[in-house]
Amino acid sequence: MLRQIEGSRAIAETVALCRPEVVCAYPISPQTHIIEAIGAMVKAGTLAPCEFINVESEFAAMSVAIGASAAGARAYTATASQGLLYMIEAVYNAAGLGLPIVMTLANRAIGAPINIWNDHSDAMAVRDAGWIQLFAETNQEAADLHVQAFRLAEELSVPVMVCMDGFILTHAVERVDILDQATVDLLLPPYEPRQVLDPADPVSIGAMVGPEAFEEVRYLAHLRQLDALERIPVIAKQFAEVTGRASGGLVSSYRTEDAQTIIVALGSVLGTIKDAVDMRRDLGERVGVVGITSFRPFPGDAVREALRPATQIVVLEKAFSVGFGGVLSTDVAMSLQGEQHVLRNVVAGLGGRAITRRSLEELIATAVRGELPVLTFLDLDHEAVDRERTRMAGTRRSGPSAENLLRDRGTVGVSTSRSDS
């Protein structure tokens, strides 16, 4: 049913329709509304049978999900930012053990400096953990991806992370068509585990594996992710046939047919980019957008095909590898080996900095003129950075740069000197 609801609420209701048997989570902004709503449904008995387990940390949340999944239950959790880092050992284990847990990641920056707002640093920090990572552009897609995620995870015995932008999506109230139970049941058959802890048929899940077989186990995990490249479009197609709605898939293209410049991005910023592209198209600039829905596995062939029309590729991403540059752009560059594209990288929206259509339009115009540097930090206040560099050069005890920049901004009081604060 089409409703005007908060993104988190749409996720909670859709996850409930997926009939999870164990939900375990620890609250952290901006994920909290999702698990609060699921917890309320379990308590009210509208989501049953399901056990909602309050845990003492994110490490416990993922550990409980691992135990539940190994025992044959459909398990779900959600987290963000530091919460994801706190569970990271178990995140790797879930993937290494091949347990089809589904987790919502309400993307949020990682401290320090502590910051509750959106960027993609958390997702990138677990890029190599072995989870499938799907990025949602809208709350509709985020909701739909959860149904597809359970299906994909359980088919392949691989955990799936649905990444949705914290606050920007989780807290946005917009139109979402929530599926009905019969439709979800049609799309998502009951969970049939490939491995299960059963006293009547004992197996060891999580045995130590030495050099004699570790590489093969890892390679099998890689093959399952490559299998996912085949299955993701098929599941998206089935979803479209049943619901009439295009959600998921590997990549999506917008106005790329005759585009000379294509912008590549992940997540909700694609909407703002499309608006900017429409404005620049009206001025005659041949520009398009490619959104990457499946970040892991990375669909190199599909990306290369989608980017083929263009001569210039601008990868815009809400994360970067400090001391190097873009993360997504590296993957895009790898998939474009042998091609002749000019590749440009833009880091934007860190820690919740708004990515505005105006800035994007200026960026596109600069790119179309061929004047975009290899690496750009969108809307970076270079003067504020220079002032801090000057302070640092002027005195050894220049203090914490984060606080200095807040004082520079006037966000915190400028009167207190270091000695009396």
Partner 1 sequence: MTAAEILAVAAFAEGRHAQAFPSFGSERTGAPVVSYCRIDDAPIRTREPVMAPDALIVQDVTLVHQVDLFAGLSHDGYVLINTSRRFTELGFEDHFVDFDQERLLTCPATEIALEHVGRPMPNAALLGGFAAFTGQITLDAIQQAIRDRFSGVVGERNAAAAKAAFEFVTNAKEEFLHASTN
Is 203 an interacting residue with respect to partner 1 (CB under 8 A)?
no
Residue located via tokens 């994110």 = 58
User: Is position 14 an interface residue for partner 1 (rule: CB under 8 A)?
Assistant: no
Report yes or no: 184 and 150 within 8 Å, Cβ to Cβ.
Answer: no
Q: What residues form DSSP beta bridges with 75?
A: 22
Regarding 147 and contact with partner 1 (CB under 8 A), the answer is no
Smallest separation (angstroms) from partner 1 to the CB of 379: 12
**398: Cβ contacts below 8 Å, ≥ 6 apart:** 388, 391, 392, 404
Binding mask 62-101 for partner 1 (x = CB under 8 A): ----------------------------------------
Q: Is 155 in the site for partner 1 (CB under 8 A)?
A: no
**How far is residue 170's CA from residue 31's CA, in Å, rounded to a whole number?**
7
Alpha-carbon gap, residue 35 to 78, rounded angstroms: 7
Q: Which residue's structure tokens are 């707002």?
A: 117
Distance in Å, CB of 28 to partner 1, minimum: 11
Continuous segment of H or E residues that includes residue 60: helix 58-70
Q: Per CB under 8 A, does 6 bind partner 1?
A: yes
| Tokens encoding 393 | 């050069």
Q: How far is the CB of 351 from partner 1 (least distance, A)?
A: 13
Is residue 268 part of the contact set for partner 1 (CB under 8 A)?
Answer: yes
Q: Specify whether the CB–CB gap between 310 and 262 falls below 8 A.
A: yes
Residue 255 in the binding site for partner 1 (CB under 8 A): no
Min CB(251)–partner 1 separation in Å: 18
- Closer by beta carbon to partner 1, 68 or else 168: 168
Count CB-CB contacts under 10 A for residue 109: 25
356 binds partner 1 (CB under 8 A): yes
Q: Which is nearer to partner 1, 5 or 73 (CB)?
A: 5
Asked if 271 is part of the footprint of partner 1 (rule: CB under 8 A), the reply reads: yes
Specify the residue, 4 or 337, whose C-beta has the smaller distance to partner 1: 4
- For Cα atoms 222, 225, 228, give the angle at the middle one, nearest 5 degrees: 155
CB of 241 to partner 1, least distance (A): 23
Closest Cα to residue 344, out of 321, 323, 328, 358? 328
Tokens 């608006």, located at residue: 275
Residue of 175, 218, 308, 389 that binds partner 1 (CB under 8 A)? 175
Q: Is 168 in the site for partner 1 (CB under 8 A)?
A: yes
Nearer CB in complex with partner 1: 258/275: 275
Asked if 176 touches partner 1 (CB under 8 A), the answer is no
Query: Inter-axis angle of helices 328-335 and 300-307, to 10 degrees?
Result: 80
**Minimum distance, C-beta of residue 360 to partner 1, in the bound complex (Å):** 9
Cα–chain center distance at 285: 30
Question: Does the footprint of partner 1 cover residue 18 (CB under 8 A)?
Answer: no
The answer to whether 163 and 293 are in contact (CB under 8 A) is no
* Among 18-26, 337-345, 353-361, 399-407, the segment contacting partner 1 (CB under 8 A): 353-361
112 and 152 Cβ atoms separated by less than 8 Å: no
Q: Report in angstroms how near the CB of residue 174 gets to partner 1 at its nearest.
A: 5
Please report the sign of the dihedral spanned by the C-alpha atoms of residue 41, residue 47, residue 49, residue 50.
negative
- When the beta carbons of 107 and 225 are compared against partner 1, the nearer one is 107
Total chain residues near partner 1 (CB under 8 A): 24
Q: Return the amino acid letter for 337.
A: Q
Residues 94-123 that bind partner 1 (CB under 8 A): 116-117
Residue 289, strand partner residues: 254, 263
Q: Which two tokens stand for residue 317?
A: 């991403």
**Binding residues for partner 1, per CB under 8 A?**
3-4, 6, 29, 116-117, 165, 167-168, 171-175, 268-269, 271-272, 274-275, 354-357
